[in-house]
Chains A and B, each alone.
Chain A
Amino acid sequence: MTERVAARRHAGVVRVTHWLIALAFVALLVTGVEILLSHPRFYWGEAGNVNMRPLFTLPVPSSRDTVPTGYKYVLPDQNGWSRYLHFEAAWVVVLCGLVYGVWGFLSGHFRRELFSGAQGGRLRFREVVGKSLRWEPVEDEGAYNVAQRWSYVGVIFGLIPLMIWTGLAMSPSFTAAAPWSVELLGGRQSARTIHFFATWVLVLFVMAHVAMVVHAGLRKKMRGMITGGAAVAEGPLRIEEQV
């Protein structure tokens, strides 16, 4: 029992970086929407402006009177603090991601908890998703079930790096130093459009993630991610040496 309890604990690095990134995500989303409102049009390729044909236009009002939206009013310009906070929060994600990433490789966290298909449990992907959709309990061995492993790997190694990459590909100074970063994406406006769609995928992930936490027991899971101890009740079973 003691072994199991220990295996289910989230390490301090995971807990701290998880919550900092969660906070930064909220800030990035709110400010991202705010920045987007100054030009709710998207293009493909290198350049794009109101004189050029958009790929698509969002049916929302704008904070600039130069953008034709069909609305008769213009929203207040909030780009000053929005842009400041957007990049500050992005730094939080980058720095936490570096700490978590280096620790994850060195400690074997990625190998053990994310890439270990063999010891990761007996349920198949379809079974986990099916049970979750029917709101049935998903009991499985290992730290994460197969659906969790797939989505966490996708977000940690795919989506978040893609967000950072497409964000940097919009930076005129960064692309000056690394032109390939924007050329590989097909241009500055393509980078912006991919950044927008990747945001939606991340939002969907967070919604599913929160729903699963609620499903698995909000109190228990929140305690696990905040204090790290998933099994306060089993306290007496723990035997730990004096240091």
Chain B
Amino acid sequence: MNPVTRRKFMTGGLVAAGGVAGLAVADRLAKRYGLLPPDSGELYGAGATLTYAAQRLLTTHSLAREFAKSQISEKPFANAVAPGNVEFKQHEAAGFADWKLTVEGMVARPTVFSMSDLKAMPVKSQVTEIACEEGWSYVAEWMGTPLAGVLNEVGVLPEARYMVYWSMDKNWWDSVDMGDALHPQTLLAMGMNDGALPVPFGGPLRLRVSRQLGYKSVKYITRLTFTDTMRGVGGPPGKMPEYSYSWFAGI
């Protein structure tokens, strides 16, 4: 054997040992500082974890780009996904007057909010772009109440790590971490472009998560659940089973 390879072998061994030790340390730190997304243990968990950890370390306090009103897209687009169930149709016929938002789980004061309760809360309007994972996008003005204010009223417990939000469409729900739930641009949107939020765009109530792709902005919200684990929520990985998109959609 060529003697040089022995030196190389030893250097390589040291580098490998250092790498393994480094990974172990990184794993501990990631767990400790909440840098592991719920899908970190899945097939593509390494990439998903790198993305989520990098975003949380570097961009936690950033604000999504806001636009001038003149940049609002004249022709927005919405996937036609209004829930076909009778309950939704009845709400729609009644002008959504009885729509309720239930807040439960790890909160000090579980509360049911009516639409008029939510409309009485501070109003915020912001012009942001919503981009679908498919590639298309539009810029719109979203009006609603910052979710952080609602969370303040119910008193989210410090051990809560995720917020799961449920649509009236039974198979549609998603979740974000507390960083995005409390983010100043996360809105319970009730209006769009100077009018009420149209049904195709999520009316009467849509969660608008401004720094993530469109699929995180779930339409027809009826319930918020606070939890410290995504295990057992909806399905084993804590994700909508039919899509299997990555949990963190800030990419």
Q: Report whether B47 and A172 are in contact in the complex, using a CB–CB cutoff of 8 Å.
A: no
Does B170 reach chain A (CB closer than 8 Å)?
A: no
Shortest Cβ gap from A84 to chain B (Å): 4
Q: Report whether A243 and B46 are in contact in the complex, using a CB–CB cutoff of 8 Å.
A: no
Q: Report whether A176 and B59 are in contact in the complex, using a CB–CB cutoff of 8 Å.
A: yes
Interface residues of A in 1-59 (CB under 8 A from B): 12, 35-36, 38-39, 41, 46-52
Instruction: State the interface size on chain A (CB cutoff 8 A).
Output: 42
Shortest Cβ gap from A122 to chain B (Å): 33
Q: Report whether A80 and B64 are in contact in the complex, using a CB–CB cutoff of 8 Å.
A: no
Give A70 to B156 CA distance when docked, in angstroms: 51
Give A50 to B132 CA distance when docked, in angstroms: 12
Give A38 to B214 CA distance when docked, in angstroms: 14
Q: Which of A35, A47, A172, A243 makes the CB contact (< 8 A) with B212?
A: A172
Which one of A85-93, A123-131, A207-215 contacts B? A85-93
Does B171 reach chain A (CB closer than 8 Å)?
A: no
User: Chain A: residues with CB nearer than 8 A to chain B?
Assistant: 12, 35-36, 38-39, 41, 46-52, 64, 66, 79-81, 83-85, 87-91, 170-177, 179, 182, 188-189, 192, 240, 242-243
Contacts A49-B73, A49-B77, A80-B243 supplied; 12 other A-B pairs, CB < 8 Å: A47-B73, A47-B138, A49-B136, A50-B136, A81-B44, A83-B245, A84-B43, A84-B47, A88-B44, A172-B213, A176-B64, A188-B129
Q: Which of A90, A172, A240 makes the CB contact (< 8 A) with B211?
A: A172
Interface residues on B, range: 35 or more
Closest residue of chain A to B137 (Cβ to Cβ) is A47
B interface SS class: loop
Q: Report whether B48 and A39 are in contact in the complex, using a CB–CB cutoff of 8 Å.
A: no
Q: Report whether B65 and A48 are in contact in the complex, using a CB–CB cutoff of 8 Å.
A: no
Q: Which of B7, B58, B80, B134 makes the CB contact (< 8 A) with A79?
A: B134
Shortest Cβ gap from B42 to chain A (Å): 8
Shortest Cβ gap from A230 to chain B (Å): 16
Q: Report whether B211 and A36 are in contact in the complex, using a CB–CB cutoff of 8 Å.
A: no
Q: Report whether B64 and A50 are in contact in the complex, using a CB–CB cutoff of 8 Å.
A: no
Residues of B within 8 A of A36 (CB): 135
Give A89 to B44 CA distance when docked, in angstroms: 10
Q: Report whether B6 and A243 are in contact in the complex, using a CB–CB cutoff of 8 Å.
A: yes
Known contacts A47-B129, A172-B211, A173-B211: A84-B135 contact under CB 8 Å: no
Give A80 to B249 CA distance when docked, in angstroms: 12
User: Interface digits, B181-193 against A, CB 8 Å rule (1 contact, 0 not)?
Assistant: 0000000000000
Residues of A within 8 A of B32 (CB): none
Q: Report whether B59 and A173 are in contact in the complex, using a CB–CB cutoff of 8 Å.
A: yes
Closest residue of chain B to A241 (Cβ to Cβ) is B3
Q: Report whether A177 and B213 are in contact in the complex, using a CB–CB cutoff of 8 Å.
A: no
Give A93 to B73 CA distance when docked, in angstroms: 35
